[in-house]
Amino acid sequence: MTDAAHGRNDAIRARPLGYALGAEIEGVDMSRPPAPDELAALRDLWGEHHVIVLRTDGLDPAGILRFAGAFGDLDPHDATPAYRHKDFPELLQITNREVDGKPSETRNTGRNWHSDYSYTGRPAGGSILYCDTRPSVGGDTMFANMVRAYETLSPKLREIVDGLEAVYDISLTAGIGERDPAKTAEVKRLNPPIAHPAVRVHPHTGKRALYVSERVSHFDGMTPAESRPLIDFLCAHATRPENVYRHQWRRGDLVCWDNRSVMHMALADFDQREPRHMLRATLLGEPSGRVVAAA
């Protein structure tokens, strides 16, 4: 059913999953690419809820890419080539299964609060994560609404963060120290520290969102010691329980989040002997930031 005035499909509905963000989407036929009216409805609901969840009966890599690619250009993951799916470079493999007979490099991906590819000059727009295999319990992912985080700061602090640039450093990615040293050296060489505005304006909704995470080393022009209390405060403020949605995965879930308005963290709250296997497509975001010297 299409709303003629807006060219939008009214059969697609959202059921909120969290107070601050997150909604389950019903009424989408995942066996084919979304039609233009369906895409318009999905974009609107994604913008409104920041994180949208589609329950599928199972998708193969081509099916994930078909859905993700409908929203825009996909990132070829050149910033982290070592973690790509070997047959589908537009998919990152986030897995604790062995890869080529060795412990997976991505088994602890995402263990601190972050926004995808914030350590690059082209931070991710949307991320679309598919759950192929989940542990019997746990392995959840948490999401924080960074628009709300910004709007609930005092006017004076908003004014201060509006004027700051946050320096992102890939070395602060959780678990990076346990990865293969040669591959780690390569991703660090590809991604030197970069300063982004600490508040970003969303290109579609026009909303301002805090853009500070646990991967920020300091604010440009301030020392790490001066910056630390403010980084810690802003992260704690943004991730207060009332600002967070925690997703408990089901096999076949496709969870889409907007990295310009959300940060997220993957939890290690599961038995690591059980497989957790996820595939992520990443939408290209807007170019941003400038490379700076390390702190």
Q: Residue numbers of the site for ligand SIN (CB under 6 A)?
A: 94, 109-110, 116, 127, 129, 141, 264, 266, 278, 280
Query: Cα torsion for 149, 152, 154, 158, to the nearest 10°?
Result: 40
What's the CA gap between 120 and 282, in Å, rounded? 13
What is the side-by-side strand order in the sheet with 253-258? 13-16, 23-26, 51-55, 253-258, 126-133, 277-282, 92-95
Please report the DSSP string for 115-140 in residue order.
Answer: -TTTTSSS--SEEEEEEEE--SS---
Shortest distance in whole angstroms from residue 249 CB to ligand SIN: 8
Angle in degrees, CA 235, 239, 243, rounded to 5: 140
- CB nearer to ligand SIN: give 77 or 264: 264
- CB nearer to ligand SIN: give 109 or 227: 109
Shortest distance in whole angstroms from residue 29 CB to ligand SIN: 26
Shortest distance in whole angstroms from residue 206 CB to ligand SIN: 26
What's the CA gap between 241 and 21, in Å, rounded? 12
Shortest distance in whole angstroms from residue 127 CB to ligand SIN: 6
Q: Which residue is nearest to ligand SIN (CB)?
A: 110
Residue 225's contacts (CB-CB under 8 Å, 6 or more residues apart) are none
**Residues 142, 114: contact at Cβ < 8 Å?**
no
- CB nearer to ligand SIN: give 231 or 255: 255
Shortest distance in whole angstroms from residue 195 CB to ligand SIN: 22
- CB nearer to ligand SIN: give 127 or 261: 127
- CB nearer to ligand SIN: give 126 or 193: 126
- CB nearer to ligand SIN: give 194 or 279: 279
What's the CA gap between 183 and 70, in Å, rounded? 32
Shortest distance in whole angstroms from residue 159 CB to ligand SIN: 31
